[in-house]
Structure 1
Amino acid sequence: MEQVLFIVWRESVEAILVVGIAYAWLKQSQARQGMRYLGLGVLAGLLVACLMGAALMSAGSWLQGPAQDIFQTIMVLVAAGLIVQMVMWMRIHARSLKSELEQGLASQVESANYWGIAVLVAIAVAREGSETVVFLYGMGMAQLQSGAIGGFVLAALVGFALALATFGLLQLGSRFLSWRWFFRVSEIMLLCLAASLLVSGVERMIGLEWLPAGPDPLWDTSMWLDDSHGIGGLLATFAGYRAWPPLTVVVAFVAYWILVLSTMRWQRQRLTHRQTTSTEEASA
């Protein structure tokens, strides 16, 4: 349930951030008529996310036996991929997110296209909500199937409450919590969570006989750090640690971090090059 709480917290903060930026800009610009469309956009975005959740649940219930196992395996891997994609996207757009959103709002207000505001906000909220739905489905289907729906819902509600509290602290300024710190720490946690989902997906593929396990287990560290409880259990949940991993899981885990770190390095180099080019052009 810790995974559910964390994902709802992180994604809700992003959604609240978008709505908060739009609300503050409309209020400052005295575009009061846009407030109504802001609310409509939020409701529409939430509706899209709920419909997607219902569709996933229906598909999971409709499929039976091996087909259901295959579907859930695919969703776990999709969730891992989406988390990585989201982190990489935010690394590029986090600094310009506010200005880009405000420019879009200004364009709609200038043309008196208030429905455009609703669409703009709906897309942003639906994106965050849909990502959350996919993540939760990938992580929580086992809990839902075991009847632990109450704990699942409670974790989601606590995560949303924490998101509201976090946004409040972030709005108070860097004395309490800075946006840069929030994005950096949550970025690391999200990448570790994606690794955990990847490990789970690879284990499922081994169970489906899509992949060979290789030497299994490759090692046994349960004597020092068991992955079923305590710190080991927490690392298993959030980072993909396994005390008895097969070779294929280890290879997938190492390959994942090599790819992620290489991509982050490439992004950093490209951003540095772009900033250097912009400085040189400005000087010229």
Structure 2
Amino acid sequence: MLVPFLIMLREGIEAALIVGIIASYLKQTGRDAWMPAVWVGILLAVALSLFVGAALQLASAQFPQKAQEFFEAIVGLIAVVVLSSMVFWMRKAARSIKSELHTSIDSALAHSTGQAPALIGMVFFAVAREGLESVFFLLAIFQQSTNSDAPIGAVLGILVSIVLGYGIYAGGVRMNLRRFFFWTGLFILVVAAGILASTLRHFHEAGVWNSLQTVVFDLSNVLPVGSPLGTLLSGMFGYQDMPTLGEVIAYVAFLAISIFMFLRPAAPRAATAQAPRPSN
């Protein structure tokens, strides 16, 4: 429950920040009459995300066993790419997202015609990005979950993010967003490493990947994956009591590379022009 809660909390806050920036700018510039268009864009993005999630879930239910394992592996790979790109995109865009959204709003409303569709489209694509990221992550998590804890955690994360997002917009809630995104970013990378390792397992069960299947260690008698603690660690970090060599390599390599890139300082911006030297 904790993993989907935290990730949906982060996704929800990202979407709420985007919507909050748009709503605040429209209000500050006396264009809050355009808020219905913003809500239309949000509702369309939510509808698209729900449709894609339901369609993928229904399609996977019709597959035979090996095809379903292959489908789950593909969903897992997409989830890893999406989660990782989300973390690094927010790390890079956090400083400029406000000004970029303001520029996009001005551009959408600059013309005498087609203003509403332009604003709806801008909001739709901004929110749909977060929604589709959530869809692939939740599919990967739900496939590993045997009970209703994951859906409940996801719903709670969304509800809490809506409350916090509105509180931030209204000014009643103060959060250190940089610290929040930093720690949740690290957590998401660890989760993505576990999903990547389980993806290799699905590929093996689908008959696609048969290399590096040597069991590295056996903790099934000490901490079985079916125990309460094992289930918790499996849901949070992709823990397996008998991991294969390929799973361990994928887990460690992904985690080492991604955390190194995440923690390294951002490259300083190059100077736009070099000051001319004074003449003697």
The answer, yes or no, to whether TM exceeds 0.5 is yes
Residue segments in structure 2 that go unaligned for 5+ positions in a row: none
Matched letter for residue 127 of structure 1: R
SS of the residue 1:217 aligns to: coil
Which one has the bigger helix percentage? 1
Mapping for residues 96-135 of structure 1, pairs under 5 Å: 96-112=96-112, 113-135=115-137
The answer to whether the 8 A contact 2:190-2:255 is kept is: no
Judge which range, 131-140 or 60-69, deviates more: 60-69
Q: Which residue of the partner structure matches residue 236 of structure 1?
A: 234
Matched letter for residue 254 of structure 1: V
Judge which range, 134-143 or 164-173, deviates more: 164-173
TM-score (norm 1): 0.85
Deviation at 1:97, TM superposition (A): 1.0
The answer to whether the 8 A contact 2:193-2:250 is kept is: no
1:281 to 273, 276, 279: 273
Runs of 4+ in 1 over 6 A off after TM superposition: 172-175
The answer to whether the 8 A contact 1:189-1:238 is kept is: no
Matched letter for residue 206 of structure 1: H
Q: Which residue of the partner structure matches residue 142 of structure 2?
A: 140
Q: Deviations over 1:34-84 (max 9, x none)?
A: 111111111111121122112212321232232122111111121112111
Percent identity of equivalent pairs: 28
Matched letter for residue 81 of structure 1: V
Give me the whole-angstrom Cα distance separating, in 1, the residues matched to 2:241 and 2:172. Answer: 40
Deviation at 1:173, TM superposition (A): 7.5
Count of aligned pairs between the two proteins: 274
Tell me which of the two structures has the higher relative contact order, counting C-alpha pairs closer than 8 angstroms and 6 or more residues apart: 2
Give me the whole-angstrom Cα distance separating, in 2, the residues matched to 1:220 and 1:65. Answer: 26
Mapping for residues 123-272 of structure 1, pairs under 5 Å: 123-143=125-145, 148=147, 151-168=149-166, 170=168, 176-212=174-210, 214=212, 216-221=214-219, 227-229=225-227, 232-264=230-262, 268=265, 271-272=266-267
Deviation at 1:223, TM superposition (A): 6.5
Q: Deviations over 1:219-255 (max 9, x none)?
A: 2356665544455543332223333221111111122
Q: CA RMSD in A?
A: 2.7
Q: Which residue of the partner structure matches residue 44 of structure 1?
A: 44
Give me the whole-angstrom Cα distance separating, in 1, the residues matched to 2:221 and 2:163. Answer: 40
SS of the residue 1:281 aligns to: coil
Q: Deviations over 1:121-160 (max 9, x none)?
A: 01111111111111111111354xx5x4x54543232111
Q: Which residue of the partner structure matches residue 93 of structure 2?
A: 93
Give me the whole-angstrom Cα distance separating, in 1, the residues matched to 2:28 and 2:257. Answer: 43
Matched letter for residue 218 of structure 1: V
Deviation at 1:164, TM superposition (A): 2.3
Q: 1:226 to 1:95 in 2, by over 3 A?
A: farther
The answer to whether the 8 A contact 1:170-1:179 is kept is: no
Q: 1:96 to 1:282 in 2, by over 3 A?
A: farther
Q: Does 1:62 align with 2:62?
A: yes
Q: 1:27 to 1:206 in 2, by over 3 A?
A: same
Matched letter for residue 167 of structure 1: G
Residue segments in structure 1 that go unaligned for 5+ positions in a row: none
Give me the whole-angstrom Cα distance separating, in 1, the residues matched to 2:177 and 2:86. Answer: 17
Give me the whole-angstrom Cα distance separating, in 2, the residues matched to 1:170 and 1:181. Answer: 15
The answer to whether the 8 A contact 1:216-1:244 is kept is: no
